[in-house]
Chains A and B, each alone.
Chain A
Amino acid sequence: EVQPVESGGGLVQPGGSLRLSCTTSGFTFSNYAMSWVRQTPGKGLEWVSGVSGNGGSTYYADPVKGRFTISRDNSKNALYLQVKSLTADDTAAYYCARDREHCSGGNCPPRYFDLWGRGTLVTVSS
Protein backbone atom coordinates (compact mmCIF):
# COMPACT_ATOMS: atom_id res chain seq x y z
CA GLU A 1 0.00 0.00 0.00
CA VAL A 2 1.25 3.37 -1.01
CA GLN A 3 0.76 6.42 1.16
CA PRO A 4 -2.00 8.65 -0.25
CA VAL A 5 -0.92 12.00 -1.65
CA GLU A 6 -2.86 15.17 -0.93
CA SER A 7 -2.70 18.33 -2.99
CA GLY A 8 -4.54 21.58 -3.49
CA GLY A 9 -3.65 23.41 -0.32
CA GLY A 10 -2.26 26.91 -0.22
CA LEU A 11 -2.74 30.46 0.96
CA VAL A 12 -6.29 31.75 0.55
CA GLN A 13 -8.05 34.87 1.74
CA PRO A 14 -10.88 34.73 4.27
CA GLY A 15 -14.09 33.85 2.45
CA GLY A 16 -12.18 32.07 -0.28
CA SER A 17 -12.40 28.55 -1.64
CA LEU A 18 -10.14 25.64 -2.46
CA ARG A 19 -10.44 22.10 -3.72
CA LEU A 20 -8.29 19.54 -1.98
CA SER A 21 -7.47 16.27 -3.70
CA CYS A 22 -6.11 12.95 -2.51
CA THR A 23 -4.83 10.29 -4.88
CA THR A 24 -4.34 6.72 -3.78
CA SER A 25 -2.99 3.44 -5.10
CA GLY A 26 -2.21 -0.07 -3.97
CA PHE A 27 -5.64 -1.00 -2.66
CA THR A 28 -9.20 -1.36 -3.92
CA PHE A 29 -10.29 2.20 -3.30
CA SER A 30 -14.03 1.63 -3.61
CA ASN A 31 -13.97 -0.88 -0.75
CA TYR A 32 -12.89 1.66 1.85
CA ALA A 33 -14.51 4.61 3.49
CA MET A 34 -12.29 7.70 3.39
CA SER A 35 -12.02 10.77 5.54
CA TRP A 36 -10.39 14.15 5.81
CA VAL A 37 -8.76 14.94 9.16
CA ARG A 38 -7.13 18.28 9.89
CA GLN A 39 -4.53 19.29 12.40
CA THR A 40 -3.52 22.57 13.93
CA PRO A 41 -0.91 23.14 16.61
CA GLY A 42 -3.50 24.62 18.93
CA LYS A 43 -6.43 22.24 18.39
CA GLY A 44 -4.73 18.95 17.63
CA LEU A 45 -6.47 16.45 15.39
CA GLU A 46 -9.99 17.15 14.15
CA TRP A 47 -12.02 14.83 11.96
CA VAL A 48 -13.64 16.98 9.28
CA SER A 49 -15.55 14.79 6.89
CA GLY A 50 -15.96 11.24 5.65
CA VAL A 51 -17.51 9.31 2.80
CA SER A 52 -18.50 5.67 2.37
CA GLY A 53 -16.73 3.52 -0.17
CA ASN A 54 -19.50 3.77 -2.75
CA GLY A 55 -19.87 7.51 -2.20
CA GLY A 56 -23.48 7.11 -1.19
CA SER A 57 -23.11 8.42 2.34
CA THR A 58 -21.26 11.51 3.49
CA TYR A 59 -20.52 12.75 6.98
CA TYR A 60 -19.43 16.16 8.29
CA ALA A 61 -18.29 17.76 11.52
CA ASP A 62 -20.54 20.61 12.62
CA PRO A 63 -17.98 23.42 12.05
CA VAL A 64 -17.79 22.61 8.34
CA LYS A 65 -21.36 21.60 7.51
CA GLY A 66 -22.67 23.65 4.66
CA ARG A 67 -19.20 24.93 3.74
CA PHE A 68 -17.26 21.76 2.89
CA THR A 69 -18.25 19.05 0.43
CA ILE A 70 -16.57 15.67 0.29
CA SER A 71 -16.68 13.51 -2.81
CA ARG A 72 -14.81 10.68 -4.44
CA ASP A 73 -14.17 9.31 -7.92
CA ASN A 74 -13.66 5.58 -7.61
CA SER A 75 -12.65 5.32 -11.26
CA LYS A 76 -9.67 7.57 -10.48
CA ASN A 77 -8.98 6.31 -6.92
CA ALA A 78 -9.36 9.90 -5.80
CA LEU A 79 -10.89 11.73 -2.86
CA TYR A 80 -11.81 15.41 -2.85
CA LEU A 81 -12.79 18.12 -0.42
CA GLN A 82 -14.32 21.29 -1.74
CA VAL A 83 -13.93 23.98 0.90
CA LYS A 84 -15.56 27.41 0.79
CA SER A 85 -16.29 30.41 3.00
CA LEU A 86 -12.96 29.79 4.67
CA THR A 87 -12.03 31.44 7.95
CA ALA A 88 -8.81 31.61 9.96
CA ASP A 89 -10.12 28.70 12.03
CA ASP A 90 -9.83 26.48 8.95
CA THR A 91 -6.07 27.01 8.80
CA ALA A 92 -4.58 23.54 9.24
CA ALA A 93 -2.80 20.65 7.65
CA TYR A 94 -5.44 18.49 5.96
CA TYR A 95 -4.86 14.75 5.87
CA CYS A 96 -6.58 12.18 3.73
CA ALA A 97 -7.12 8.96 5.71
CA ARG A 98 -8.35 5.50 4.81
CA ASP A 99 -10.65 3.49 7.02
CA ARG A 100 -9.02 0.48 8.64
CA GLU A 101 -11.70 -1.95 7.64
CA HIS A 102 -12.41 -3.30 4.18
CA CYS A 103 -16.13 -3.04 3.43
CA SER A 104 -17.21 -5.18 0.49
CA GLY A 105 -20.61 -3.51 0.22
CA GLY A 106 -19.01 -0.10 0.00
CA ASN A 107 -21.55 1.39 2.35
CA CYS A 108 -19.66 1.44 5.65
CA PRO A 109 -19.05 4.73 7.48
CA PRO A 110 -15.61 5.92 8.58
CA ARG A 111 -14.42 4.37 11.84
CA TYR A 112 -10.67 4.19 12.40
CA PHE A 113 -7.85 5.33 10.12
CA ASP A 114 -4.95 3.11 9.20
CA LEU A 115 -3.45 4.78 6.13
CA TRP A 116 -2.75 8.49 6.08
CA GLY A 117 -1.29 10.87 3.56
CA ARG A 118 1.41 13.42 4.33
CA GLY A 119 -1.10 16.26 4.41
CA THR A 120 -1.63 19.50 2.52
CA LEU A 121 -1.45 22.84 4.29
CA VAL A 122 -4.30 25.30 4.05
CA THR A 123 -3.58 28.80 5.32
CA VAL A 124 -6.41 31.30 5.51
CA SER A 125 -5.09 34.83 5.82
CA SER A 126 -5.46 38.24 4.25
Chain B
Amino acid sequence: EIVLTQSPATLSLSPGERATLSCRASQSVSSYLAWYQQKPGQAPRLLIYDASNRAAGIPARFSGSGSGTDFTLTISSLEPEDFAVYYCQQRSNWPITFGQGTRLEI
Protein backbone atom coordinates (compact mmCIF):
# COMPACT_ATOMS: atom_id res chain seq x y z
CA GLU B 1 0.00 0.00 0.00
CA ILE B 2 1.28 3.46 -0.89
CA VAL B 3 1.48 5.77 2.10
CA LEU B 4 0.97 9.47 1.52
CA THR B 5 2.50 11.80 4.10
CA GLN B 6 1.28 15.36 4.18
CA SER B 7 3.10 18.28 5.73
CA PRO B 8 2.74 20.36 7.69
CA ALA B 9 -0.08 18.94 9.78
CA THR B 10 -1.31 22.47 10.44
CA LEU B 11 -0.52 25.65 8.54
CA SER B 12 -1.41 29.02 10.01
CA LEU B 13 -1.62 31.88 7.54
CA SER B 14 -3.60 35.04 6.86
CA PRO B 15 -5.88 35.96 3.97
CA GLY B 16 -3.88 37.21 1.03
CA GLU B 17 -0.84 35.09 1.84
CA ARG B 18 0.47 32.22 -0.26
CA ALA B 19 -0.05 28.65 0.98
CA THR B 20 2.19 25.73 0.07
CA LEU B 21 1.09 22.23 1.11
CA SER B 22 3.18 19.13 0.58
CA CYS B 23 2.35 15.48 -0.09
CA ARG B 24 5.04 12.81 -0.25
CA ALA B 25 4.41 9.26 -1.47
CA SER B 26 6.19 6.19 -0.11
CA GLN B 27 6.87 5.13 -3.71
CA SER B 28 6.37 6.71 -7.10
CA VAL B 29 2.78 7.43 -8.12
CA SER B 30 3.82 9.04 -11.40
CA SER B 31 1.36 11.94 -11.81
CA TYR B 32 -1.64 10.04 -10.47
CA LEU B 33 -2.33 12.31 -7.54
CA ALA B 34 -5.29 14.45 -6.56
CA TRP B 35 -6.00 17.13 -3.98
CA TYR B 36 -9.26 17.67 -2.09
CA GLN B 37 -10.57 20.40 0.17
CA GLN B 38 -12.89 19.61 3.05
CA LYS B 39 -14.76 22.06 5.24
CA PRO B 40 -16.45 21.12 8.54
CA GLY B 41 -19.65 19.18 8.03
CA GLN B 42 -19.11 18.87 4.29
CA ALA B 43 -17.90 16.17 1.94
CA PRO B 44 -14.50 16.55 0.29
CA ARG B 45 -14.29 18.63 -2.88
CA LEU B 46 -11.97 17.68 -5.74
CA LEU B 47 -9.53 20.49 -6.53
CA ILE B 48 -6.71 19.00 -8.59
CA TYR B 49 -6.30 15.69 -10.42
CA ASP B 50 -3.36 14.10 -12.20
CA ALA B 51 -1.07 16.32 -10.11
CA SER B 52 -1.68 19.58 -11.93
CA ASN B 53 -5.12 19.67 -13.59
CA ARG B 54 -7.75 21.83 -11.95
CA ALA B 55 -11.14 20.21 -11.59
CA ALA B 56 -14.20 21.90 -13.05
CA GLY B 57 -15.09 25.16 -11.36
CA ILE B 58 -11.94 25.42 -9.27
CA PRO B 59 -10.46 28.93 -9.09
CA ALA B 60 -7.13 29.62 -10.73
CA ARG B 61 -5.50 30.49 -7.40
CA PHE B 62 -5.29 26.73 -6.76
CA SER B 63 -2.44 24.96 -8.54
CA GLY B 64 -0.74 21.61 -8.23
CA SER B 65 2.70 20.42 -9.17
CA GLY B 66 5.04 17.49 -8.81
CA SER B 67 5.53 13.94 -10.00
CA GLY B 68 6.97 10.72 -8.71
CA THR B 69 6.97 11.01 -4.93
CA ASP B 70 6.81 14.75 -4.18
CA PHE B 71 3.79 16.94 -4.79
CA THR B 72 2.72 20.45 -3.88
CA LEU B 73 -0.60 22.23 -3.70
CA THR B 74 -0.24 25.99 -3.89
CA ILE B 75 -2.91 28.56 -3.13
CA SER B 76 -1.55 31.78 -4.53
CA SER B 77 -3.51 34.28 -2.42
CA LEU B 78 -5.69 32.93 0.35
CA GLU B 79 -9.35 33.84 0.47
CA PRO B 80 -11.34 33.51 3.71
CA GLU B 81 -13.21 30.50 2.28
CA ASP B 82 -9.95 28.60 1.66
CA PHE B 83 -9.37 27.82 5.34
CA ALA B 84 -10.15 24.11 5.52
CA VAL B 85 -8.49 20.69 5.59
CA TYR B 86 -6.70 19.51 2.45
CA TYR B 87 -6.07 15.88 1.49
CA CYS B 88 -4.00 14.29 -1.23
CA GLN B 89 -5.01 10.98 -2.84
CA GLN B 90 -3.20 8.59 -5.17
CA ARG B 91 -4.67 6.23 -7.72
CA SER B 92 -1.43 4.80 -9.09
CA ASN B 93 -1.61 1.52 -7.15
CA TRP B 94 -4.37 -0.38 -5.42
CA PRO B 95 -5.68 0.35 -2.96
CA ILE B 96 -6.46 4.01 -3.51
CA THR B 97 -5.04 5.87 -0.53
CA PHE B 98 -5.35 9.31 1.03
CA GLY B 99 -2.93 11.39 3.03
CA GLN B 100 -3.75 12.25 6.62
CA GLY B 101 -4.55 15.88 5.79
CA THR B 102 -3.21 19.39 6.35
CA ARG B 103 -5.34 21.82 8.32
CA LEU B 104 -5.08 25.34 6.92
CA GLU B 105 -6.12 27.78 9.63
CA ILE B 106 -6.29 31.51 9.97
Contacts and interface: CB of A to CB of B under 8 A. Distances in A.
Chain A: interface size category: 20 to 34
Specify which of B49, B87, B99 lies most central, judged by the most chain A CB atoms within 10 Å of its CB: B49
Contacts, number: 55
B96 A47 contact: yes
B74 to A, nearest CB: 19
A85 B89 CA distance: 28
B98 A100 contact: no
> A-side binding surface: helix, strand, loop or mixed?
strand
Chain B: interface size category: 20 to 34
Interface in A42-91: 44-47, 50, 59-62
Interface string B30-47: 001010100000011110
B87 A110 contact: no
Given A112-B89, A117-B43, A47 B97 contact: yes
Nearest to A95: B43
A111 interface: yes
B34 A112 contact: yes
B56 interface: yes
Contacts of B99: 44
Interface in B62-106: 87, 89, 91, 94-101
